[in-house]
A = this chain, B = another copy of it.
Amino acid sequence: MISKKTKYAINALVHLTKRKDEGPILISEIAEQENIPQKFLEAILLDLKKAGILSSKKGKGGGYYLLKEPDEVNLADVMRLFDGPIALLPCVSYLYYERCEECKDEETCGQRDVFLEVRNKTVDLLKKATLTEIIAREDKLAGKKK
C-alpha cells in the first residue's frame, strides 16, 4: 500500500494542475477541497517544492503552483519521493538497491526473478501516468459515467 502522504501528494498535484492558470493556490484551499489535514499537507507541499516539482510564494496573494510541466511529473517519481522504492524486494530496486541478508545466491534466486518482473512492469505503468495523463483519464471516466 502507498502511504497517505503519497496519496495526498497526488491529489494536491492534480488539483494544482487543474488550476494552473489561476496563479498561486492557498494551502488551506487545497486542504479543504481535497480533504487533507492542513498541517500534514504543508509538509507534503514543502517536500514537493524541495524536489523541484512545485514552487511557492509567500505573503498576500501567495500560495503554491506547479513548477514543472504537468506532463513531466509522473507517479513513479512522486511515489519514490514519499515512499521510497517501488520494488517489492530490496534486491530488485534500482535506486534503493540492497542485498537480502538471508539470500544464498542473488543471481539464481527465483523469487528475485519474479519480483524483478513485477517491478519493471509497475515502474513502466507508473512512469506513463503523468499529471496530464491522469486528468485525461478522469475526463474519460466522467464521460462514460453520464
Chain A interfacial positions (CB closer than 8 Å to B) = 1-2, 7-8, 10-11, 14, 34-36, 75, 85, 87-90, 100-104, 107-111, 113-115, 117-118, 121-122, 125-126, 129, 134-138, 141-142, 145
Contacts and interface: CB of A to CB of B under 8 A. Distances in A.
Contact of A111 (B7, B35, B107, B142): B7
Contact of A107 (B35, B88, B103, B145): B145
24 contacts: A1-B85, A1-B87, A1-B88, A1-B90, A2-B88, A2-B89, A7-B100, A8-B102, A11-B111, A34-B102, A34-B104, A35-B101, A35-B104, A75-B111, A75-B114, A107-B145, A108-B145, A109-B138, A110-B138, A111-B134, A114-B126, A118-B126, A121-B122, A122-B122
